[in-house]
């Protein structure tokens, strides 16, 4: 394929830069450079800086020179190079998704989406036709099933390195401090991220081992992505890892759990079962006998104890053994 003339390449680069310059905040040449790289546009930082200098002279772009690095944004009166128009409904969906995605997507991908998130915020704030969409964010909420807690803080640099290595399948070198305060430096193969309540976990394999571990992200003191790639283990599945109870504080075996529960508390288990094979028997005294296949973990034990006297006659039977363990 013939190479495009340099003038065409320059024009394409200018258009890509213009469409990424925000309105409500300032963006630096380095941030634009990273966004362009994420989009597959490979130009050196100095080229981006020269383009910004030129564009700020010919378009209604503010260049903040009060401190370095310089920041650029469209003036409020400017029409700019807008992103595809978002409807109020699309703006609402992006607004609801932004906070949730921030902990699940690689940092570079989130930065490349910033223009869409910003437009969504502006649409909901300024569009007179979006009144119902603005109200909706105050009408829905995900409610904690336990005592609400403030999420553990993950260092931004740690999240950037971990999410990028997970995205491109590269080994990580971590400085990790466990729950006992012991610090170590380990090489890990990142396999997944999982949010459990207020804690974000990295599922990984240590170098030289073939079993998975879950590391609390907030306990990672430093993370460095290496240049060494890896092939994801064919047998690993994050969903199955979760279904096997691997996030249940401790790894357990699959059991058939049976217990009696008071009518009021039992109704919630009929409406939202413990497992797809759950069985329910109505007892003569008005209570329910529940039987379900679950993974035996510390989380399950805490859940059972949380019901207090409402749950009685608890029995556990290993799915691998015939022995019955009453409690």
Mean pLDDT of all residues in 61-84: 77
Per-residue confidence (pLDDT) for residue 1, from 0 to 100 = 39
In sequence order, what DSSP letters do the residues of 242-273 get, joined into one string? HHTTTTSSS---EEEEEEEE-HHHHHHHHHS-
Q: Rounded distance, CA 257 to CA 295, Å?
A: 9
pLDDT in tens, 200-214: 899 999 999 988 999
Q: Which of 47, 57, 156, 43 is nearest to 110 (CA)?
A: 156
Per-residue confidence (pLDDT) for residue 3, from 0 to 100 = 41
pLDDT in tens, 263-316: 999 998 999 899 999 999 999 999 999 999 988 888 888 889 989 999 999 999
Asked if residue 105 lies in contact with residue 163, where contact means CB atoms within 8 angstroms, the answer is yes
Check pLDDT > 80 for residue 47: yes
Q: Which of 130, 315, 319, 153 is nearest to 220 (CA)?
A: 153
Fold exhibited by the domain 254-326: Alpha-Beta Plaits (3.30.70)
pLDDT in tens, 180-205: 899 999 999 999 998 887 788 999 99
Token pair, residue 112, equals 């490349």
Q: What confidence tier does 2 reach under pLDDT thresholds 50, 70, 90?
A: very low
Please state the length of the chain.
327
Cβ neighbours of 215 (radius 10 Å): 20
Which CATH number describes the domain made up of 156-236? Answer: 2.30.30
The correct answer on CATH 1.10.10.10 for the domain covering 6-74 is yes
More confident call, 231 vs 19: 231
Token pair, residue 73, equals 């944004």
Q: How far is CA 187 from CA 194, 204, 226, 235, in A?
A: 19, 10, 9, 21
Token pair, residue 195, equals 């949010």
Per-residue confidence (pLDDT) for residue 158, from 0 to 100 = 92
Asked if residue 248 lies in contact with residue 299, where contact means CB atoms within 8 angstroms, the answer is yes
Mean pLDDT of all residues in 160-177: 93
Which phi and psi (to 5°) does residue 134 adopt? -60, -40
Check pLDDT > 80 for residue 320: no
Mean pLDDT of all residues in 125-136: 72
Average pLDDT value for the chain: 82
Q: Rounded distance, CA 71 to CA 66, Å?
A: 9
Which phi and psi (to 5°) does residue 276 adopt? -70, -20
Domain boundaries along the sequence of the chain:
6-74, 88-136, 156-236, 254-326
Mean pLDDT of all residues in 29-44: 86
Per-residue confidence (pLDDT) for residue 145, from 0 to 100 = 67
Which phi and psi (to 5°) does residue 112 adopt? -70, -20
**41: which residues sit within 8 A by CB, 6+ positions away?**
13, 16
Please state whether the predicted TM-score (pTM) of the whole model is above 0.85. no
**10: which residues sit within 8 A by CB, 6+ positions away?**
51
């Amino acid at each position: 394929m013939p190479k495009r003339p340099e003038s065409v390449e320059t024009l394409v680069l200018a258009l890509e830069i213009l469409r990424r310059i925000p309105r409500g905040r300032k963006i630096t040449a380095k941030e634009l450079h990273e966004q362009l790289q994420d989009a597959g546009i490979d130009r050196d930082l100095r080229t981006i800086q020269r383009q910004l200098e030129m564009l700020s002279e010919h378009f209604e772009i503010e260049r903040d020179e009060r401190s370095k690095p310089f920041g650029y944004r469209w003036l409020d009166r400017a029409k700019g190079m807008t992103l595809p128009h978002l409807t109020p409904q699309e703006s609402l969906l992006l607004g609801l998704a932004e906070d949730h995605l921030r902990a699940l997507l690689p940092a570079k991908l989130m930065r490349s989406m910033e223009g869409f998130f910003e437009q969504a915020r502006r649409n909901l704030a300024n569009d007179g036709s979006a009144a119902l969409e603005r109200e909706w964010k105050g009408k829905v909420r995900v409610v904690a099933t336990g005592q609400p807690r403030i999420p553990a803080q993950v260092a931004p640099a740690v999240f950037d390195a971990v999410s990028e290595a997970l995205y491109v399948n590269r080994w990580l070198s971590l400085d990790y401090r466990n729950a006992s305060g012991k610090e170590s430096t380990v090489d890990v193969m990142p396999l997944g991220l999982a949010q459990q309540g207020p804690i974000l976990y990295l599922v990984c394999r240590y170098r030289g081992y073939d079993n998975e571990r879950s590391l609390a992200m907030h306990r990672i003191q430093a993370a460095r992505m290496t240049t060494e790639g890896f092939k994801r283990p064919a047998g690993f599945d994050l969903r199955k890892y979760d279904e096997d109870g691997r996030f249940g504080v401790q790894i357990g075996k699959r059991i058939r759990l049976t217990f009696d529960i008071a009518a009021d508390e039992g109704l919630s288990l009929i409406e939202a079962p413990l497992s797809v094979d759950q069985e329910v028997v109505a007892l003569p005294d008005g209570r329910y006998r529940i039987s379900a296949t679950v993974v035996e973990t510390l989380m399950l034990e805490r859940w059972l104890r949380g019901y207090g006297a409402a749950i009685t006659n608890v029995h556990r039977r290993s799915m691998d053994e015939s022995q019955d363990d009453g409690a």
